[in-house]
Amino acid sequence: MMRDTLATAMKEAMKAKDSRRLSTIRMVQSEIKSRDIANRGVGKDEASDDDILQILQKLIKQREESAKMYDEGGRAELAQQEREEIEVIRSFMPAQMSDDEILAAAKAVIAEINAEGMRDMGKVIAALRERYAGQMDFGKASGFVKDLLK
């Protein structure tokens, strides 16, 4: 379970006195706790492993955007800090699929659900999200699906 993995990693980072890793893991756990509290408010269960993978993806995307802005602003040290956090967060995610693997998965799902045309794009993306959460860049996937369904 992702929560156990994060808790173990946090203890290891504390023992190793790895402050960057420790602060990043704490930030991730804080985001997960926020999601749990939000879910509790609407009567949902706490965040599942799939939810946690989505949180990790969101955090990576935020850090990539921040690093880009820091680079553009001439703040290389802050951009480097963001990239280090990205690497820590990625270490908790499954291996990312290559473009060829994403394309093959999209083709398989399209064939499986007999998708015909753009009106079925939502169904295809939903199926991909269900099967490959945390492993696939869905921005790329939607581009591939769009090209395949034209």
**CATH code, domain carrying 86:** 1.10.1510.10
Query: Does residue 70 share a domain with residue 41?
Result: yes
Query: Is residue 149 within 8 Å of 120, Cβ to Cβ?
Result: yes
Q: What is the pTM of this model?
A: 0.72
Angstrom distance (rounded) from CA 48 to CA 66? 27
C-alpha dihedral sign at 84, 66, 95, 53? positive
Residue type, 35: R
Query: Does residue 53 share a domain with residue 113?
Result: no
- Residue-wise pLDDT for 5-21, tens only, equals 999 999 999 999 999 99
- Residue-wise pLDDT for 55-113, tens only, equals 998 999 999 999 999 999 999 999 999 999 999 999 998 888 889 999 999 999 998 98
Joined tokens for residue 127: 């199926």
Residue 6, pLDDT score: 95
Query: Does residue 82 share a domain with residue 53?
Result: yes
| Per-residue pLDDT band at 118 (split at 50, 70, 90) | confident
Query: Does residue 118 share a domain with residue 85?
Result: no
- Looking at residue 119, the DSSP 8-state letter turns out to be G
CATH code, 144: 1.10.10.410
Query: Does residue 54 share a domain with residue 7?
Result: yes
Report the number of distinct structural domains present in the chain.
2
Joined tokens for residue 128: 């991909």
Query: Does residue 78 share a domain with residue 58?
Result: yes
Angstrom distance (rounded) from CA 87 to CA 24? 10
- Domain boundaries, position 55: 2-90
Query: Does residue 12 share a domain with residue 82?
Result: yes
Query: Does residue 67 share a domain with residue 15?
Result: yes
Query: Does residue 61 share a domain with residue 17?
Result: yes
Query: Does residue 81 share a domain with residue 25?
Result: yes
Query: Does residue 82 share a domain with residue 30?
Result: yes
Query: Does residue 56 share a domain with residue 30?
Result: yes
The last residue of one of the domains, among 49, 71, 90, is 90
Residue type, 125: I
The last residue of one of the domains, among 70, 90, 110, is 90
